[in-house]
Structure 1
Amino acid sequence: MIPRKHLSASSLCAPVLAAAALCPAFVQAAAPDPSGSLFRSAFGDGLEADYGIKVNGWAQAGWTYNDNGSDDLSKQAFFNNDEGFNLNQVALSIQKEPKGNVVGRVGPFPGPMPEQADWGFNVTALYGKDARFFKTYGFDDDLGVNRSADANDENFNIAQAYLEFYIPVLGGSNLMLGVFHTPLENEIGFALGSPAPADFYSHTYSFMHGPAKHTGALYSFKLPQEEGGSMLGFELGLVQGWNNMQDPNGDPDVIANLRWRSADFRTWVDWENIYGNGAGDSFAECACGSPIPAGTQDDDLTRYASYLTVSHVLDERNRVAVEFKYGQQEDAAFAAFADKGNAHWYGADVNWYHRLADDLTWNSRAEWFHTDAPVHVVMANIDPQTGIPDPSWGSFYGVTTNLAWTPVPHVRLRPELRYDIHSGHGRDAYGGGREDSQLIGSFDVTVFF
């Protein structure tokens, strides 16, 4: 983060986007960018300076420990499954960002509309235990390196591969075509490679119950406005469901998002929605596709998910974000355990980010999440030997806090504590089905290059 004695556009933008790279027009003086530093030191900065093409990467690993004698962390420390050491992500990305006043999956930015069209692209390869959650059915699910991997092994995938176009129409427009991270949810969707925008090592139950990526098209645009006023943007997408390139039911899903920004850029409101047929798009053989199984490819079963996030920069050291979510799946595969046909999930989480120093941030999060029937494969607790589920559902409460320290720009160190309670039906959610609460401690290291 760029130190500022007063509140400026860059100090507002950086905590919201977790990187000043997304708002270069507002950055007056920047520290050396660790992203792409290894490639620049080896080959020079000509490719980036002359053509705007950046080659960058990151590596993330962490250690986790719980208080109940079980090594199962699958629900609470998502993405991590096992207690102990986890190699989460080793990634390499080559990208070119188009110049414009609209960033796909992020929203509109202040300033006049650039009159010149531009284009860009992003290809990101990912290896590690997190990679299995970013596989795309029909694209990288059947790679040889993944065939012998079980749920606790590292995977490899192409996390993103898309073209991007800035078009000077309306108040500014952006079109993405290809495979890209979802524009939904508070903890994902920025035009940056994970884990850069992730303020926590663990993730919310809301995040777990949403899509990770899509294949298709996403069109983002800014409405024309008077200079200096608030900004309103919209996103419309047509995609192959949740985490799929091939969707056996043959029906595309529709994404419709609204993004409002206050004139001073302090307050952001994002309402994000996806609607479509959720039948037959979850695949046990590759542990990929949608995490919410329902029916077969010949069925027509409605799936809908909606997220409303309001974030506000209180001052140069504090920001808060509140997320509300709702989802439903018609004829969910595990709903019969609760004597239901359809499953619904909803909840809220509150995040507070406090900058203690230029290189030290204290992040805290409280969440409540409820499912009226089991719906997610991770919550189903499927026995790997028998294939028989023993699901958990009801209300889940979680509190998380961490310190994120960047002693040098290339390195982030992050100790984190998380405490969860399950109050509901079915199997107890933690400790191998023996505990309804759990405390997890973790420490992760991320190196950017």
Structure 2
Amino acid sequence: MSKYRCVFMSCVAASFLGSSVGVWAQGAEEEAWGDGALARSMFGDDFEQSSGVRIKGVAQIGWSHNDASDAGWSPNDGHTNYPVVGANDEGFQLNGIQLTAEKSLKSNILPRITPLPGPKPEEFSWGFTAELIYGRNGLMAGMYGFDQQWAINRPGNDDSVKAATSHQNYLAAPQAYLQFYMPVLDGLAVTVGRFGSGVGYEIPPATRPSPNFFYTHTYALVSQPDQVAGVLVSTNVFRNNYGLLAAELGVVNGRQNWQDNNAQKSALGALRWRSPDMRTWVDYSFMSGDEQNDLDHDIQMPVSRILSDTGLRRDHHSLLVRHHFDERWMLAVEGLSGKQRGNADHSIDLITGQPFSGAHYRGANATLRYKSSKLVEYGVRVERFEDPDGFALLPTTTVAGSYNAVTVGANLNLHPHLVVRPEIRYDWQSDNDGVRAYGAGRAEHQTTFSIDALIYF
């Protein structure tokens, strides 16, 4: 079957599945989201109002299958959907059970998200967020020098092969930070602690709302910085008839790094523009800093795969444009590029064992979403990610070349406590010189059938 026919059939199947279940879903009574229901039942309905603290949870379980594993390895081996991420394993999996405690800022700017319209609050405000997750997703959420070293995460933090074959679950604390709002300039906020970088379009947590419409994620997410530890300053630049513009700048330890593996910090920043009606968003975000392992520090694989006695900077840039045409249609388009400096005389690639002279990558992805009702929404995503040096997609693959993907799916909001997301995804390689990345290195393309459930409590 040609790849084009396979994509077409995938689209038809996902659309049919979404429509069939959606008929029942549209009859459900619309209610408020179920986030925080467990805490309200334990502490009372007035706990959140009196304390300002909200406690909420989400459990994510899924099932997945691809047509490439049979040619290469057993689905029981774990991570058999790689280099596709999100639904890492075939069969049933506990992606995660996540608990969050948060106190929101009273602010006209949401750090790492958006400036807000309306009057500037004139009072100081503070808030916090603390998260804990257990499941397969905890592997990617672990941070070096912190939860990655916890005893409960052994042997996976030392033996990745054994952890994959045993489908080991991990415990991590993805975010733990304080935030402060100050009524200076046109509104300024400071974030301190461990937090998501805010670089790029997709974000790892299965929160609601979020840009993560699909169960599986883009290759872009693998390449972009996830969590960081440090300080971020966010401020409004202007809010007028030309729109809203916020600027952000921070200093952090590095990617997934609580205890720095070299002597230099990294810079993190963004410019976020919104149209006056908030229907069009334009975000430029970046992270830049040395990411090599110094000779006298612990090796932090796979985030830092270069060993060197000199500083080697890694840059990542993302430009995102998102537009809501009306209440039903939304389009988001992201372009990204990255570069890791190298020095063949003073650095070694710990994967290949060869001198490292540098690497670069770039990609583009677009997501079109259509909301057919208050309870059913459809989506199509296309992506091309070029990794000619086989550098950017570690740990999912080190095969050089270009990765292409088409994903179709639906969000079925069956109940305030339940969202079901079926999807069908087709991936194929190009510019790979015959080296195969799917099915344990035996296939150049892969069709993945996945469905997950997000249970909010």
TM-score range, shorter chain: 0.7 to 0.9
Q: Contact 2:238–2:246 (CA<8 Å) still a contact in 1?
A: no
Q: CA deviation at 1:93?
A: 1.0
The equivalent residue for 2:213 is 199
- 3-state SS of 1:141 partner: helix
For residues 290 and 432 of structure 1, the distance between their equivalents in structure 2, rounded to whole angstroms, comes to 19
The equivalent residue for 2:440 is 432
The 3 A distance-change label for structure 1 pair 425 and 281 is farther
Q: Contact 1:215–1:245 (CA<8 Å) still a contact in 2?
A: yes
Instruction: Confirm or deny that 1:409 pairs with 2:416.
Output: yes
1:307 is matched by which residue type in structure 2? S
Q: Contact 1:344–1:372 (CA<8 Å) still a contact in 2?
A: yes
Q: Contact 1:259–1:271 (CA<8 Å) still a contact in 2?
A: yes
For residues 290 and 220 of structure 1, the distance between their equivalents in structure 2, rounded to whole angstroms, comes to 30
Instruction: Confirm or deny that 1:252 pairs with 2:265.
Output: yes
Instruction: Confirm or deny that 1:91 pairs with 2:109.
Output: no
- 3-state SS of 2:50 partner: helix
Q: Contact 1:247–1:281 (CA<8 Å) still a contact in 2?
A: no
Q: CA deviation at 1:218?
A: 0.8
Q: Which moved more, 1:32-41 or 1:158-167?
A: 32-41
Instruction: Confirm or deny that 1:47 pairs with 2:42.
Output: no
The equivalent residue for 1:448 is 456
For residues 387 and 393 of structure 2, the distance between their equivalents in structure 1, rounded to whole angstroms, comes to 13
- 3-state SS of 1:275 partner: strand
CA deviation profile, 1:224-255 (whole Å, cap 9, x unmatched): 433x5400110101001000111120211001
For residues 377 and 403 of structure 1, the distance between their equivalents in structure 2, rounded to whole angstroms, comes to 26
- 3-state SS of 1:148 partner: coil
1:34 is matched by which residue type in structure 2? G
The equivalent residue for 2:57 is 57
The equivalent residue for 1:311 is 322
2:440 is matched by which residue type in structure 1? G
CA deviation profile, 1:58-113 (whole Å, cap 9, x unmatched): 10010000012143534343133321111001011111011111001102011121
In structure 2, list runs of 5 or more residues that go unmatched: 1-29, 157-162, 343-347
For residues 200 and 277 of structure 1, the distance between their equivalents in structure 2, rounded to whole angstroms, comes to 32
The equivalent residue for 1:166 is 181
The equivalent residue for 1:23 is none
- 3-state SS of 2:381 partner: strand
1:294 is matched by which residue type in structure 2? I
Q: CA deviation at 1:210?
A: 1.4
- 3-state SS of 2:224 partner: coil
Structure 1 runs, 4 residues or longer, greater than 4 Å off: 334-340
Aligned identity (percent) is 34
1:242 is matched by which residue type in structure 2? R
**What does 1:50-449 correspond to in 2, within 5 Å?**
50-68=50-68, 69=70, 70=73, 71=75, 72-149=79-156, 150-151=163-164, 152-188=167-203, 194=207, 196-197=209-210, 198-226=212-240, 228-280=241-293, 291-296=303-308, 298-331=309-342, 333=349, 341-376=357-392, 378=394, 391-423=398-430, 424-425=432-433, 427-449=435-457
The equivalent residue for 1:17 is none
Q: Contact 1:323–1:350 (CA<8 Å) still a contact in 2?
A: yes
The 3 A distance-change label for structure 1 pair 421 and 434 is same
TM-score (norm 1): 0.85
Taking only aligned residues, the RMSD between alpha carbons, in angstroms, comes to: 2.4
For residues 415 and 244 of structure 2, the distance between their equivalents in structure 1, rounded to whole angstroms, comes to 35
CA deviation profile, 1:91-139 (whole Å, cap 9, x unmatched): 1111101111100110201112111110000110000001110111111
Q: Contact 1:62–1:445 (CA<8 Å) still a contact in 2?
A: yes
The equivalent residue for 1:16 is none
For residues 367 and 246 of structure 2, the distance between their equivalents in structure 1, rounded to whole angstroms, comes to 24
For residues 134 and 209 of structure 2, the distance between their equivalents in structure 1, rounded to whole angstroms, comes to 16
- 3-state SS of 1:170 partner: coil
The 3 A distance-change label for structure 1 pair 211 and 262 is same
The equivalent residue for 1:14 is none
Q: CA deviation at 1:401?
A: 1.0
Larger RCO (alpha carbons 8 Å, 6+ apart) = 2
Q: CA deviation at 1:342?
A: 1.1
Count, aligned residues: 405
TM-score (norm 2): 0.84
1:219 is matched by which residue type in structure 2? V
Instruction: Confirm or deny that 1:35 pairs with 2:35.
Output: yes
1:440 is matched by which residue type in structure 2? T
CA deviation profile, 1:275-303 (whole Å, cap 9, x unmatched): 10011189xx99x666352224x320110
The equivalent residue for 2:21 is none
In structure 1, list runs of 5 or more residues that go unmatched: 1-29, 382-390
The equivalent residue for 1:21 is none
- 3-state SS of 1:159 partner: coil
For residues 168 and 329 of structure 2, the distance between their equivalents in structure 1, rounded to whole angstroms, comes to 38
